Chain A
Amino acid sequence: MKNLRTLKKYFLRYKTALITGIFFIIVSNAFTVYVPIIIKDSLNDLQQGIAENKLVEYALLIVGSTLMAGIFRFMIRQTIIVISRKIEYDLRQDFWEYIQHLSLRFFQNNSTGNIMAHATNDISAVRMFIGPAVMYSIDTGVRIIIVISIMSMISWEVTLWSLIPLPFLSFLVYVVGKKVHKRFTLIQEKFADLTTKAQENFSGIRVIKSYVAEEREVAEFDRLSREYLARNMKLVKIQALFQPTLFLITGMSIIIAIWAGGTAVINKTLMIGDVTALIMYLGILIWPMIAFGWVINIIQQAEASMARLNKLWSEELEIADVGEENSLVNEVKGEVEFRNVSFKYGENLPFVLQNLNLKIPAGHSLAIMGNTGSGKTTMINLIPRLFDATEGEVLLDGVNIKDISLKTVRRSIGFVPQEAFLFSETIKNNICYGKPDATESEITERAKIAQFSKDVLEFPEGFETVVGERGITLSGGQKQRASLTRALMTDPEILILDDSFSAVDTHTEEDILQGLRGFMKNRTTLMVSHRVSTVKDADKIVILDKGMIAEEGTHDELIKLNGLYAGIYNRQLLEQEIEEI
């Protein structure tokens, strides 16, 4: 239960409703246990043949008590279960706001599916504890105490005998519940195998067909299906046993009551109404006894889930932010400098950037080229502080970015990442992500620069067209241009393009660059690219190799140098020639 202590503050938030709920449980039980007493009295009176005029009264009492019990039972769910849903909401909200501030490294090390499992499965498991487990454990406790006391008053002997089988019930539910959980996990594992097999087969269908392996694949799939069936039947074996055993135990308890009670009636120590009441009480006790075993399982699962959540809540947070009050700079002009910057992604990993020194004056443009893995993306990720440098410092306008508030840093940067990521919303919402109050003319102007407006015209609902899963699918080039428009909307002092035109054809790219030239006057531009045509007009070009600057200079200077850059240039000229044949 150690981990579940985290929930204390959530419970305290709904203290009043929770206490009221517990009160309702007690009241509702009081009415529930009253019904058998009425039936007992009526049958006893009937046995003595004295009741005819009282029958209506009894009938009304039965319905009345059940109604009252029902009203309070309704109130229990409306308080306790509703609280559990509210706490679930609170937990999930806290979870989300927390992971929004976790370091990006966390997202690299954990798959999306894994993180989502926390937000859904684990929080659900905890919710089951807060709601049903709390409700039933209190309900069970209260009911067992009241019912057994009343039963003992009617006949402690019959009560004792007939209660003997019931503890087995709790035990059975507990043990079976555990086993079911285990076997169910095994089934899910096999199901995952089956899914993987199908996935793999469909992806590798060409290889399978060319090696004429279809029949063997079917046989293998059949083998897995059969194993899956076997595991399912293993679960069925316990489940099939469970229900009959449940009936057997509860039935035994009632039969004992009939036998022992009947004997007592014959011996004139009890009346028939007493026996009926005892049997009805046993019926009332059955569910709480089942719930008892079930609740223990829920608590154990919730404890494990809460432990996972608590672990997550102790993960490393994003880079420290000095905050706006302590920020040394509030308006950025656009000078970017790397001073002795080195970077690695983890303690034991090699350096990705090594002792980088570079200064880009405000309003200038810098192009970065280099092979895959040479550190281009890492380098530019340091500017908006997606990561912090391991050694050395990055400066904006001559000030260490760590001394500027995150908000100011990021507000001054327009970033167009390598993979153009758009949300499944309208084009407009995507473009105006950084500037929700943008005017129509601003939107069209920027979209024009990014050569995106023509595409938008062809979309069914223009800027209001929804993209992604629930809308239309954009091509890679369209996504990149939308992503560029989004970055331009915020009027950034610094524009960073991380190979942002890789899916755009060369002609369109030239048009974009042409348009950007005007827009980027007096703004700083950093662009990563593989194409010489993109970078050749930059004020400075840098070639990165294994995290170090291998060459730097203007296009003409680098061509003269006849090194890496010149090699790339010549190859691309040839490619173009072949393309034009």
Chain B
Amino acid sequence: MAKKNSSEDEILGKAYDAKLMKRLLGFVKPYKKYVILAILLNILVAGLGPLRPYLTKIAIDDKIFNGDLHGLMLISVALIGALVFQSVIQYFLTYFTNLLGQKTILDLRDKLFRHTQKLSVSFFDRTPIGRMVTRVTNDVESLNELFTSGIVMVFSDVFIIVWILGFMFFINWELALITLSVLPLLIYGTFLFRKKVRESYRDIRKYLARLNSYMQEHITGMGIVRLFNKEKEEAKKFAQINGDHRDENIRSVFYYAVFYPGVELISSAAIALIIWYGGGDVVQNKISLGVLFAFIQYTEMFFRPIRDLSEKYNIMQTAMASSERIFTLLDDQSFIKNPENPVPLDKVKGKIEFEKVNFAYNEDNLILKDISFVINPGETVAIVGATGAGKTSIINILTRFYDINSGRILVDGVDITKVDKRELRSKISIVLQDVFLFFGTIRSNIGMNNPGISDEKIVASAQHVGADRFIQNLPNQYDEEVKERGATLSVGQKQLISFARALAHDPSILILDEATSSVDTETENMIQTAIETLLEGRTAIVIAHRLSTIRNADKIMVMHKGEIKEMGSHEELLEKRGLYYKLYQLQYKDQELVLSK
């Protein structure tokens, strides 16, 4: 930990960027009415606080000193009225500014999420998921303060100060000037304190992050610590980091310890000035005692709006940093292009043609080389090959998760780049090896919340693939909750659900990436039957791991290092004694034994 590294220091930029601010304000536009209302309420409510010392002055000078009990009563009632009125407005003001902030960030968050849904799969490949999650959650969240207190409340603080100044000068401008002589010191002190605390807070955060990452790492690596007998040394290292965190906190205690008494001292200096200078005027009958009283109260009112204003700086700074990150994501244009005038697909028969297809994830590393083949409607093709042969890439480009480098892919004779990619995908169902189940119910996982898929269809699909039996045994059947990606379900059950999902969408073309994980014989039999049901009457591409699937396929395509090496039926290829024969020995022969038993 000896070395300092810039990445753990929080990089904070400037507090104001006109371009970013303009874009942010664009999100407030739909709520302009709220903003205007809030500002108007602010002007009103800001004056009610400073009104009270003035009323008190009248009470003292005109009523109390004149022995006017009735008048004193009236003023007291007026004071209460002002207070209640202020409280009520304050309530609505806080409520509406928060509503404004919440609605704005809701719009922003939805817009951002909607944008992510359009981004290409390759964007997701190269972007850590955690980072994207942070953008739509925490980064958006940190703008909340800007929209609630940042924009509207700046007006509130300014108006309060203006009202106080107004009343003071109205009552007695000379005394007002004298009292205000401490103001520069107060403002300077407050902003200096803010700056120091901000710096110190940043250091504390840095040390806390260090403490956390140390703990995180050493809890994960606890075994290593023990294997190397390092408990004592590690405790010492921890003490060092823990100590840095403590010392920085103690440093920030110092700022608070100086600041609060400092503010008291400044306002007491103002009071002292009022008594000394104003007191002289009282004796000479230039001003009344009520004036002194009112001024003493005003000195105590100044502090809060100034402190609030100084806090706005932090809010702006955080907001600028977050919004910059958000807009970067929002401006990313990694889309797979849709044609402007898409050719409609209507009923797909299911003919698939690959014409001299070359494909690479990265420019120079070709994964598929010059692939050509034709699959006729209703045919099942099994693709076999070792890991890295390029089997998965065929799926990825057929569904336009990625675009190919050269060549053409045709569905029913139409180039897939000429078709709306969403329409294309809706004709194809994919069953992936790792079954991805979403948070929700069994029902929503089969129907994928598609309104075009009725409950009857969901149940019928589940019955067809044989999933219905175990689903009926769940406490809530189809409404059983799916938690943590289906952690409570077995591997076989998850597979059956994903089969039901594919069947419910009734695709013309089915792509199946068979799972390799072993299941018990009973489940295996169920899965085999389900696969047969699934493939019936559809064009299918299967990345096959099951001997039964391969045998039932119309055609077998043997891939190796991005090329098609052999093609034919199971028997034909076995006779060839080539690559397929070897793969068969390696991957499928054991299943033969099981089958023959």
Say yes or no: A216-B275 contact (C-beta < 8 A), given A85-B250, A116-B212, A210-B429.
no
A233 x B98 contact (CB < 8 A): yes
The A21-43 residues at the B interface (CB cut-off 8 A) are 35, 39, 42-43
Output the least CB separation between A373 and chain B (Å). 12
Q: Interface stretch among B337-345, B363-371, B538-546, B577-585? A: B577-585
Q: A43-B289, A43-B292, A93-B239 are in contact. List 12 more A-B contacts (CB 8 A).
A: A42-B279, A55-B279, A100-B222, A201-B113, A206-B432, A210-B430, A211-B505, A212-B425, A236-B102, A239-B94, A417-B224, A421-B220
Closest partner residue, chain A, to B430 (CB atom): A210
B243 contacts chain A at the CB level, 8 A cutoff: yes
Residues of A within 8 A of B106 (CB): 225-226, 229
A218 x B117 contact (CB < 8 A): yes
B36 contacts chain A at the CB level, 8 A cutoff: no
B117 x A258 contact (CB < 8 A): no
Output the least CB separation between B304 and chain A (Å). 11
Say yes or no: A104-B223 contact (C-beta < 8 A), given A214-B118, A574-B582.
yes
A326 contacts chain B at the CB level, 8 A cutoff: no
Instruction: Among A97, A196, A206, A214, point to the contact of B121 (Cβ < 8 A).
Output: A206
B286 contacts chain A at the CB level, 8 A cutoff: no
Instruction: Among B76, B109, B245, point to the contact of A258 (Cβ < 8 A).
Output: B76
B490 contacts chain A at the CB level, 8 A cutoff: no
Contact pattern, B 81-118, Cβ under 8 Å of A = 1, otherwise 0: 00110111011101100110011001001100110111
Instruction: Among B73, B86, B129, B137, point to the contact of A203 (Cβ < 8 A).
Output: B129
B422 contacts chain A at the CB level, 8 A cutoff: yes
B275 x A62 contact (CB < 8 A): yes
Output the least CB separation between B286 and chain A (Å). 12
Closest partner residue, chain A, to B52 (CB atom): A251
Residues of A within 8 A of B221 (CB): 421, 423
Most buried by A among B91, B220, B271: B271
Output the least CB separation between A485 and chain B (Å). 13
A62 x B132 contact (CB < 8 A): no
Say yes or no: A209-B121 contact (C-beta < 8 A), given A63-B272, A120-B212.
yes
Expressed in whole angstroms, the Cα–Cα distance for A181 and B84 within the complex equals: 27
Residues of A within 8 A of B92 (CB): 240
Say yes or no: A51-B583 contact (C-beta < 8 A), given A204-B436, A415-B227.
no
Closest partner residue, chain A, to B98 (CB atom): A236
Residues of A within 8 A of B229 (CB): 406-407, 410-411, 434
B296 x A276 contact (CB < 8 A): yes
B137 x A195 contact (CB < 8 A): yes
12 contacts between A and B (CB under 8 A): A46-B279, A46-B282, A76-B257, A197-B439, A206-B401, A209-B425, A210-B428, A232-B98, A233-B102, A240-B95, A470-B7, A578-B582
Instruction: Among A51, A76, A202, A258, point to the contact of B79 (Cβ < 8 A).
Output: A258
B87 x A247 contact (CB < 8 A): yes
Residues of B in contact with A, size category: 35 or more
B526 contacts chain A at the CB level, 8 A cutoff: no
A316 contacts chain B at the CB level, 8 A cutoff: no
A262 contacts chain B at the CB level, 8 A cutoff: yes
Closest partner residue, chain A, to B272 (CB atom): A59
Contact pattern, B 208-243, Cβ under 8 Å of A = 1, otherwise 0: 100111011111111111111111001100110011
Residues of A within 8 A of B422 (CB): 212
Q: Which 5 A-B pairs have the closest CB atoms?
A: A70-B261, A244-B87, A77-B257, A66-B268, A240-B94
B449 x A209 contact (CB < 8 A): no
A575 x B586 contact (CB < 8 A): yes
Residues of B within 8 A of A197 (CB): 439
A202 x B133 contact (CB < 8 A): yes
Residues of B within 8 A of A47 (CB): 289
Interface of B is mostly: helix
Contact pattern, A 59-79, Cβ under 8 Å of B = 1, otherwise 0: 110110111011101101110
Output the least CB separation between B458 and chain A (Å). 14
Q: Interface stretch among B60-68, B165-173, B410-418? A: B60-68
Expressed in whole angstroms, the Cα–Cα distance for A159 and B84 within the complex equals: 23
A218 x B283 contact (CB < 8 A): no
Closest partner residue, chain B, to A425 (CB atom): B1
A56 contacts chain B at the CB level, 8 A cutoff: yes
B269 contacts chain A at the CB level, 8 A cutoff: yes
Output the least CB separation between B510 and chain A (Å). 11
B386 contacts chain A at the CB level, 8 A cutoff: yes
Most buried by A among B5, B276, B296, B430: B276
B399 x A210 contact (CB < 8 A): yes
Expressed in whole angstroms, the Cα–Cα distance for A60 and B80 within the complex equals: 35
A115 contacts chain B at the CB level, 8 A cutoff: yes
B256 contacts chain A at the CB level, 8 A cutoff: yes
Output the least CB separation between A57 and chain B (Å). 9
A199 contacts chain B at the CB level, 8 A cutoff: yes
Expressed in whole angstroms, the Cα–Cα distance for A488 and B401 within the complex equals: 46
Output the least CB separation between A61 and chain B (Å). 8
Output the least CB separation between B490 and chain A (Å). 16
Output the least CB separation between B564 and chain A (Å). 14
Residues of B within 8 A of A229 (CB): 102-103, 106
B491 contacts chain A at the CB level, 8 A cutoff: no
Output the least CB separation between B76 and chain A (Å). 4
Contact pattern, B 287-312, Cβ under 8 Å of A = 1, otherwise 0: 00100110010001000000000000
A252 contacts chain B at the CB level, 8 A cutoff: yes
A-B contact count (CB 8 A): 338
Output the least CB separation between B172 and chain A (Å). 15
Expressed in whole angstroms, the Cα–Cα distance for A237 and B269 within the complex equals: 39
Q: What residues make up the interface of B, taking CB atoms closer than 8 Å to A?
A: 1, 3, 5, 7-8, 52, 56, 59-60, 63-64, 67-69, 72-73, 76, 79-80, 83-84, 86-88, 90-92, 94-95, 98-99, 102-103, 106, 109-110, 113-114, 116-118, 121, 124, 129, 132-133, 136-137, 141, 208, 211-213, 215-231, 234-235, 238-239, 242-243, 245-246, 249-250, 253-254, 256-258, 260-262, 264-265, 268-269, 271-273, 275-276, 279-280, 282-283, 289, 292-293, 296, 300, 386, 399, 401, 422, 425-426, 428-430, 432, 436, 438-439, 448-450, 485, 501, 505, 560, 579, 582-583, 585-586
The A533-573 residues at the B interface (CB cut-off 8 A) are 571
Say yes or no: A62-B268 contact (C-beta < 8 A), given A89-B246, A116-B215, A207-B432.
yes
Say yes or no: A211-B448 contact (C-beta < 8 A), given A42-B275, A62-B271, A579-B386.
yes
Instruction: Among A73, A196, A204, point to the contact of B260 (Cβ < 8 A).
Output: A73
Residues of A within 8 A of B425 (CB): 209-212
A252 x B276 contact (CB < 8 A): no
Instruction: Among A43, A69, A243, A244, point to the contact of B264 (Cβ < 8 A).
Output: A69
Instruction: Among A59, A211, A258, A272, point to the contact of B273 (Cβ < 8 A).
Output: A59
A237 x B260 contact (CB < 8 A): no
Expressed in whole angstroms, the Cα–Cα distance for A575 and B243 within the complex equals: 56
Closest partner residue, chain A, to B230 (CB atom): A433
Residues of A within 8 A of B110 (CB): 218, 221-222, 225
A345 contacts chain B at the CB level, 8 A cutoff: no
Output the least CB separation between A283 and chain B (Å). 7
Most buried by B among A77, A218, A262, A410: A262
Expressed in whole angstroms, the Cα–Cα distance for A58 and B174 within the complex equals: 21
B67 x A93 contact (CB < 8 A): no
A384 contacts chain B at the CB level, 8 A cutoff: yes
Expressed in whole angstroms, the Cα–Cα distance for A206 and B582 within the complex equals: 33
Residues of A within 8 A of B253 (CB): 77-78, 81-82, 85
A220 contacts chain B at the CB level, 8 A cutoff: yes
A455 contacts chain B at the CB level, 8 A cutoff: no
Residues of A within 8 A of B113 (CB): 198, 201, 218, 221-222
Most buried by A among B5, B227, B271, B272: B227
B217 x A198 contact (CB < 8 A): no
Expressed in whole angstroms, the Cα–Cα distance for A239 and B265 within the complex equals: 31
B67 x A276 contact (CB < 8 A): no
Say yes or no: A191-B79 contact (C-beta < 8 A), given A63-B272, A283-B300.
no
Residues of A within 8 A of B269 (CB): 63
Closest partner residue, chain B, to A54 (CB atom): B279
Say yes or no: A236-B99 contact (C-beta < 8 A), given A43-B289, A112-B216.
yes
